[in-house]
Amino acid sequence: MKPIEPTEPMEPMEPVDIRRGVPEGSETRVAALYWEAFGRKLGAALNPPDKARAFLAAHLHHDRGVVAVVDGEVAGVAGYQLDERGLTGGGAGDVLSTYGTLRGLPRLALLLLMERRPADSELVMDGIAVAPEHRGKGIGGLLLREIAAVAADHSCRRVRLDVIDVNPRARALYERHGFVAVRTEKTPYLRDLMGFGAVTTMHRPVAPAVSTNRREA
């Protein structure tokens, strides 16, 4: 996950429209933001970058994302998994069709390795990505609060996410917004392939809450 500055203020310094759902027509923008944040982690499974971004854009689940819009453009996105659907879609057939059978099969294995399914009454956050020019302005915090509101609206008891060991700033952001580390899994076999050697799972309890200044996309 791309680091977000730990000094990020609680409120943004510019008007931000928080929306549930990826707006139609912004798929390429959202895919680019997601790839910029997670390309190192997903690269072994989806490279080359141009093909990866096109794949992500083509298979987005619009109703599994929360976006921040500034001046009519998506400035940040947070994806989540609920009811066995996440922001980034595409099944085995889509991967094999895009990359071919021989190259697609090992990619599928890597994608399965990274898959995290929600437990009962749990919403899993796929990740958060904020455009470089909008970082440090409170957008990450607004997206996290809206994710918690989505979880509350679906009667979930908690939000779960995973953060890698090479991204302490992201972990600091999560901790400021109520996430607590519950376990760390050592993954030395992924260090050379994906650039990290441990994954920490964090939970945030969910209580009924009023949503932010969002609207449906």
**pLDDT tens across 151-190, in order?**
999 999 999 998 888 778 888 889 999 999 999 988 787 7
Share of the chain above pLDDT 70, in %: 88
pTM above 0.85, yes or no: no
Q: When comparing pLDDT for 81 and 2, which is higher?
A: 81
Secondary structure of residue 113 in the 3-state scheme: helix
Q: Which two tokens stand for residue 140?
A: 């990450």
Write down the pLDDT at residue 113: 75
Write down the pLDDT at residue 208: 65
Write down the pLDDT at residue 153: 95
Q: Is the pLDDT of residue 1 over 50?
A: no
Cα angle: 56, vertex 35, 160; to 5 degrees: 85
13 — pLDDT class (breaks 50, 70, 90): low
Q: When comparing pLDDT for 13 and 105, which is higher?
A: 105
199 — pLDDT class (breaks 50, 70, 90): confident
Q: When comparing pLDDT for 3 and 69, which is higher?
A: 69
Write down the pLDDT at residue 216: 60
Question: Is the separation of the CB atoms in 138 and 200 below 8 Å?
Answer: no
What pLDDT, in 10s, does the model give residues 97-122?
A: 999 998 889 888 888 777 778 888 89
84 Rama class: left (phi>0) / alpha (psi -120 to 50) / beta:
left
CA distance 202 to 182: 6
What is the average per-residue pLDDT within 200-207? 92
Q: Which two tokens stand for residue 12?
A: 């943004």
CA distance 30 to 12: 20
